Amino acid sequence: MNGAAYPMNGMGAACTPSGAILPELMNVAAEIRVGHHAGEVLRQRGLLACVLVFWAVQFSALTVQQLLMWEGRSLSMMAPRACVTLIGVGISLAIARIVRRLPGRRLRSQLAFGAALALAGAFVHALGNFTVFQIFIGDENMSSFTLESYFGATLQWFWSYAALLGMLLALSYSLELAEMHRVAHTAQMRALRYQLNPHFMFNTLNSIAALVSRKDVETAEHMVENLGDFLRATLSLDPQEDIPLQREIALQSLYLEIERLRFSDRLTVELDIASDAMGALVPSLITQPLAENVIRHAVAHSTRPIAFSITARRDGQKLRITARNSAPDGRARRSASTGVGLANVAERLTARFGDSASFAVRGEPDGAFVVEMAMPFNAAADR
């Protein structure tokens, strides 16, 4: 495809805007539900792992202590200690289930509620500990039992459960914060990607109406088909997912074909994509604002053809994309717009790649306007 114009034909049957938007709204709602469910599952697994690790360490520490203090009886105490550990795991899982509902409360109420949970868990654990050892070594257990020893054990377990509760709360908050960042990032990426120029829809529908009024039914049908294909393809994209550059260019070909029909002979397009760059992954619709910027600020204000080109090359571990348009009526446009559309591209690149991406715009002496961006080269097959 080097140096050749990319084909700009329809990609399928027509699809009405409402027919494309309704499924997309349903997909968004489903994505929110799935994302929330996935975050909840991750939190549950994290709390479960925290509980299991805590009691595994507790069991190991007590076992080592028994081995050092009472060599002859250490093995005989393994079974009751394992049963008490299982009781601790059960109590801790119940506490973890309650902890999942704590975020959102005031800190003071959380601390008070957490202390009450730790105290309740300690009392139940101490009672379970006494019951288990009563079953295994009843006579010896009763001979050494006093209220002081029971409450002393309760106090000991209180600090254990307080420490565990602190770990659970910290983990729950960290997982919740990570989920909030993920949701916020997804929302930001979706919002940035869906900031399509509203004038595009209005002008396209207005052009279709004008074609119909002039009895140019064939051109109107062609534009409707391309509009339907473009909406269907773009609304089905996941804003978090990168797509191959080849598909990105195919989508822009649909968009540019719609605009070419609108502006007749005032727009010429050349898409020069190197063969080794075709499989590079790029954020979906990242080139859309580049094309919109040319249509809005060059083609719409010109009485002569505007030459618009997009080139893409691999440069080592970078993918470089350049968009260039000639000046309207041969006049220099050094003040060409760098507003919402191009700022959108810069923000998306930063959100996706950080400092690994770059974005720049410049005007040329002949009035041409150039946009250059670079991002890490990642091939679809590398994923």
- Domain ranges for the chain, please list them: 36-189, 242-382
Tokens of 337: 């717009």
What tens digit of pLDDT does each residue of 169-178 get?
Answer: 777 777 777 7
Residue 51 pLDDT greater than 80, yes or no: yes
What tens digit of pLDDT does each residue of 340-371 get?
Answer: 678 878 888 988 888 999 999 998 888 889 99
Q: How confident is the model at residue 14 (pLDDT cuts 50, 70, 90)?
A: very low
Backbone angles phi, psi at 295, to 5 degrees: -60, -45
Alpha-carbon distance 250 to 257, whole Å? 11
Alpha-carbon distance 158 to 162, whole Å? 6
Residue 29 pLDDT greater than 80, yes or no: no
pLDDT at 307: 93
pTM: 0.53
Query: 3: Cβ–Cβ under 8 A, 6 or more apart, which residues?
Result: 270, 272
Alpha-carbon distance 163 to 157, whole Å? 10
Distance of CA 202 to the CA centre of its chain: 31
Reported as type and span, the H/E element at residue 49 is helix 17-69
Q: Please, are residues 234 and 250 in contact by the beta-carbon 8 Å criterion?
A: no
- Residue 84's nearest CA partner among 44, 136, 46, 47 is 136
Query: 128: Cβ–Cβ under 8 A, 6 or more apart, which residues?
Result: 84, 87, 91
- Which superfamily does 242-382 belong to? Histidine kinase-like ATPase, C-terminal domain (3.30.565.10)
